Amino acid sequence: MHRKESKKLTPGISNKYVYEGNQRYVEQQYEEAQKSYQKALQSNPQNTKAAFNLGNAFYRTRNWDQASASYRNVLAGSNVSRDMQARTFHNAGNTLMEQKKI
């Protein structure tokens, strides 16, 4: 397969892992969801949905530092919608409250 063709497939593969992660998240299998979201990010580091959902899965397992890091990754992205920014700031704030940092 040519390099260009493999790059075209990456977003689809990444989204497949996000879908799998979402299924695990709904089933409250948060550690499994984390693994799927991490695979999505390995496939496409620019996948802000994967980073956001990974933060949410870390939040559910009370892993505040990794949740915060995931939310920072979302906000560092260049193609983040205003809606995604707002939801990320909201969740990042909740994470800081859980850590009693605000």
Q: What is the pLDDT of residues 24-71, one digit of tens each?
A: 999 999 999 999 999 999 999 999 999 999 999 999 999 999 999 999
**Predicted pLDDT of residue 80:** 94
**DSSP code of residue 101:** -
For residue 80, give the amino acid letter: V
Task: Give the number of domains in the chain.
Answer: 1
What mean pLDDT, rounded, does the chain reach? 91
Q: How confident is the model at residue 102 (pLDDT cuts 50, 70, 90)?
A: confident
Q: How confident is the model at residue 79 (pLDDT cuts 50, 70, 90)?
A: confident
CA atoms within 13 A on the CB side of 10: 14
CA atoms within 13 A on the CB side of 87: 14
Among 5, 29, 33, 6, smallest CA distance to 19 is for 33
Q: Whole-structure pTM over 0.75, yes or no? A: yes
**Residue partners of 37: CB distance under 8 A and separation at least 6:** 17, 18, 21, 50, 51, 53, 54, 57
- Structural domain range at position 18: 3-98
The CATH number of whichever domain residue 62 belongs to comes to 1.25.40.10
